[in-house]
Amino acid sequence: MANPLKRKRSILFTIGSLDIGGAESQMTALISQLHGKGYSCHVFVLQKEGSLKRYMQELGVPIYSGGLVKNDLLRAPWKLILAQLRLIRVLLRVRPVIVHCFLPLVTCMGALAGRLTRVPLVITSRRGLGTHQERYIVLKPLDLIADWLSHRVTVNSRAVWEDTVQRDHIGGDKLVLIYNGVDISNFDSSRTSSRKIRERLGIGATEKTIIIIGNLIHYKGHEDLLIAAHEVIRHVPWALFLLVGEDRGIGRRLQKITTELGIERRVRFLGLRHDIPQLLAASNISVVSSHEEGFSNVILESMAAGLPVVATRVGGNSEAVVDGVTGWIVPPRNPAAMAEKIIDLLNDPKKAESWGRKGRERVKKDFSLEKMVEEHIRLYRSAG
């Protein structure tokens, strides 16, 4: 018979993949602080591979695969039935006291399997606004089932809370607000060596660098950003834009727009990178141009690196950035407003530096990794 104390500390996390993304990174950070420190963490992932898999293995976290590969959801959706059965088997084997599920579809699968195997605490996590329900109508009923089966639903911003209540008509007593967290120590060493990092990247001493971190997806607003960049460069010729993120299908179009605007020499497409703290240290301003967000990890990372942020007024962005104090909040899909605020910060470096310091202090106080973990532990303890 299993040791009840060991069983009480076991958590099974479920997610679609271990590719680099906001939810995946937050889950990984949470596990890194829990596993072997009073909790035994396990991960069930639909897809076999992912950039974060090796890190999980280095932590000693058992990983269980649903057996899917990329694009199976479109080519062979019947594999989800096998994945659901595998998930149930894993739960029966691990016997966790908590199952915590991330992202659409997998939240429904995890909540259903958790209830069928009588897991004491079933948690699903809503990480963004429910616009996925509009893009893929099948996800709406699956979200509603996940809501119904969950004991608790975590949200990462007040905006996501309000959107979930409105879309899913879920009772507020089931929701738990836990903001994303960032480990500010990851950015300390890079800040002190920013000059060397800029030299290594070939950034001139007089160039002012604007960084945009986000996979190249249409709703991240990169087209708006490039139009804004054209206006910024017209006023500040030494501005340099760094676009960091994996191409998810629009990279060629963005490069074409850059050429048509005549700014290709002032825009660099850096692709998927694993040195984000260093890239932020080499930058002067961070921009988030998204049309939709839940709660942006990029904003927190940028503030932790001491950068002022120009972000669109969507989702939880205005809950992180204090407009006129740690950065500027601008309307979405408005390149002119975005350009105006970028130019404002480029032309006033003392203000930009001051706002960056204030943003870093705000992260320490309100959005630390430690605070995020503590709030999850408080929730997990409700399992009894």
Distance (Å, whole) CA 260 – CA 93: 57
Q: Over 70: is that where the pLDDT of 384 sits?
A: no
**Same domain (yes/no): 151, 218:** no
Helices H / strands E in the chain, number of each: 19, 13
Please tell me which residue, 134 or 374, carries the higher pLDDT value: 374
**Same domain (yes/no): 30, 101:** yes
Please tell me which residue, 122 or 6, carries the higher pLDDT value: 122
CA distances from 361 to 326, 356, 365 (A): 10, 9, 6
Q: How confident is the model at residue 383 (pLDDT cuts 50, 70, 90)?
A: low
**Same domain (yes/no): 209, 298:** yes
Taking only the tens place, the pLDDT of each residue in 331-360 is 999 999 999 999 999 999 999 999 999 999
Question: Are the beta carbons of 342 and 285 closer than 8 angstroms?
Answer: yes
- Within a 10 A sphere around the Cβ of 89, how many other Cβ atoms? 13
pLDDT at 58: 93
Domain count within the chain: 2
Distance (Å, whole) CA 312 – CA 331: 5
**Same domain (yes/no): 38, 172:** yes
Average pLDDT across the chain, whole number: 93
**Same domain (yes/no): 266, 355:** yes
CATH of the domain at 342: 3.40.50.2000
Residue matched to tokens 């007089």: 206
Taking only the tens place, the pLDDT of each residue in 185-224 is 989 877 777 888 899 889 998 999 999 999 999 999 999 9
- Which class for 200: exposed (0-12), middle (13-18), buried (19 or more C-beta within 10 A)? exposed
Q: Over 70: is that where the pLDDT of 53 sits?
A: yes
Q: Over 80: is that where the pLDDT of 225 sits?
A: yes
pLDDT-above-90 percentage for the chain: 79
**Same domain (yes/no): 165, 261:** no
Helix (H) or strand (E) holding 98: strand 98-102
Retrieve residue 61's tokens.
Answer: 């976290």
**Same domain (yes/no): 160, 49:** yes
CA distances from 96 to 4, 77, 91, 120, 379 (A): 10, 28, 7, 8, 15
**Same domain (yes/no): 176, 189:** no
Q: How confident is the model at residue 136 (pLDDT cuts 50, 70, 90)?
A: confident
**DSSP result, 295-334:** S-HHHHHHHHTT--EEEESSTTHHHHS-BTTTEEEE-TT-
Taking only the tens place, the pLDDT of each residue in 277-335 is 999 999 999 999 999 999 999 999 999 999 999 999 999 999 999 999 999 999 999 99
**Same domain (yes/no): 328, 306:** yes
Angle formed by the axes of helices 251-261 and 222-235, to 10°? Answer: 20
**Same domain (yes/no): 325, 278:** yes
pLDDT at 70: 80
Q: Over 90: is that where the pLDDT of 134 sits?
A: no
**Same domain (yes/no): 134, 222:** no
**Same domain (yes/no): 192, 153:** no
Range of the domain at 330: 184-366
* Global pTM value: 0.90
Q: How confident is the model at residue 73 (pLDDT cuts 50, 70, 90)?
A: confident
Among candidate residues 212, 208, 203, the one with its CA nearest the CA of residue 343: 208
Taking only the tens place, the pLDDT of each residue in 162-190 is 999 999 999 889 999 999 999 999 898 77
